Amino acid sequence: MRDDEGLIYLGNSFRLFGPNRKAIIDDCHYSPQFNQFLAEQVSKNVDLMKLVPRTKFIDEAAATGAPRRIIVRKAETAGVK
């Protein structure tokens, strides 16, 4: 799994963060310092050149978990073929 293209292995994050540092606040939350550490670990492994722009307009206002709808607005698509 560690060598799978497109995956970022975070299984050793607690060890890398430090055994004597507080990473977990409660059952659902990490400490702000651990959140920052995770963000740094992920950002080091993201190849920005491989990211591609979206080709469709997405309803970003949709609730989390709700199916997203493709929205086409005339003003946004004027001149687009």
pLDDT, tens only, 10-37 = 889 999 999 899 998 888 889 999 999 9
Q: Using a CB cutoff of 8 Å and minimum separation of 24, what contacts does 38-47 make?
A: 38/10, 38/13, 41/8, 41/10, 41/13, 41/16, 42/8, 42/10, 45/8, 46/8
Classified as helix, coil or strand, 24 is: strand
Domain ranges of the chain: 13-77
pTM over 0.85: no
- Kindly state the average pLDDT of the residues 30-58: 84
What are residue 58's DSSP bridge partners?
70
Rg of the chain over all Cα atoms, to the nearest angstrom: 19
